[in-house]
Every structure is written in structure tokens, then in C-alpha cells.
Amino acid sequence: MSVGDVSVPHLAEVIELPVPREEREVSRARARAGRRWPAYALIVCGVALIPWLVVLAVALPAAENTPHWMAAWVGLDTMEAAGLIGTGVLTLRRHPLRVVAAAATSMLLVVDAWFDVSTSTGGDLVVALVMAATAELPLAAVCALLAVRAAAAGNRAAGAVPGAPATAGTPDTVPAARTATVSRLPAPVGTFSERGTAAPASDRTV
């Protein structure tokens, strides 16, 4: 029998098979459950702080001579300046981190306004109120708006990318697919011609 007459089975082929809808739903549910535990942990921590607020309201003195008073305020204003500059630069570059920078800067500005007003008396209180109404809170609102818009733009961009995870409320228009390897059964015993067709067994060369 010659070498060219050896019977060779067909090679395996890769075929795309659709994933059942039930299996996809189970996978998505497991993924959502894995992403939710940090949110539940944060909620628990926030609720645990409520009794501590009562303790502080009862135990803390109405006035306190605090050391490092100047360092505290200079540090807070330094963080605000860094946040405003960073948010502006990241927004100009349309960097994804602009969402985090804008949200953090907005919160810093709100904290600054709160402590300015709550720790001032007399004429200083008037100045603190004016600063909060005309500078700190408006800037905080602008940063919060930038964060919300940037996050929304990021979600729209992710939804437009093929293969990106679908967001809540978005129909699944493209069915997922699974790659499976299916091997064909060997061809009937016989020789193969140059065109790949099997020759009858009676024509074999022995």
C-alpha cells in the first residue's frame, strides 16, 4: 500500500454555538451578585455610624481649643485647589478619571462650606455665608454636574462598544456565542485521491 493511499480522518473544526438564554441569565445574575457586596458593606457601615452620631452629639463640648487649627484649614484648601486643577486638566483631556476627580472635589467644597459656616461667629459668619453661597457651593455644583455628565458619557460609550456588558434596561440585541470544538467522524475506510474524495475499497493498492 502506497503512502498516498493512507486513510486520514477529517480535521476538527471550530463551530460557534449559541449559548442558551437561561445560561446567560444565570451568568449575569452571578456577576451582578459579585459586584453588589461592596455596596451592601458600605450601607452597613453608614447605618452603624448613626448611633455614633448620637454619642458625639451628647458627649462633645460646645467649644474646643483645637491645636493645629491653621494646618487643618490650609490642608483643606490645598486639597480643594489640587482637586479643581486636576478636574479641569482631566476634563480637557477627557480622561476617564475626571469622574472621580470631579466628585471628590465637589465633596471637598461642600465640606469647606459646612465647616466655614459652622465654626464662625459674628462678622466671620457673614463672610462664611457669602463665600458658601457665591463660591464654594456653586463650584461644588459644577463639579458634581461634570461628574454626572462624564459618567453618563462613559456609560453610553461602553454600550456602543461591541462585546461590552449590557446595562440595566438595555435589550440584549446581540446573542452571545460559545466556541465549541466538534470533531467529525472519520470518513469511510478507503484511499483518498488528490482531490480529497475517498476511493472505493475495491480500488485500493495492496
Q: SS3 for 13?
A: strand
Would you place residue 199 in the very low, low, confident or very high pLDDT band (cuts 50, 70, 90)? Answer: very low
Segment 23-49 shows an average pLDDT of 81
pLDDT for the residue 22: 73
Would you place residue 65 in the very low, low, confident or very high pLDDT band (cuts 50, 70, 90)? Answer: confident
- Output DSSP code: residue 190: S
d(CA 106, CA 33): 30
Q: SS3 for 151?
A: helix
Reported in sequence order, the residue ranges of the chain that DSSP labels E, i.e. its strands, are: 13-18, 177-182
Taking the model in full, what pTM does it have?
0.61
Query: Tens digits of per-residue pLDDT, 125-181?
Result: 999 999 999 999 999 999 999 999 999 988 888 776 444 444 444 444 444 444 444
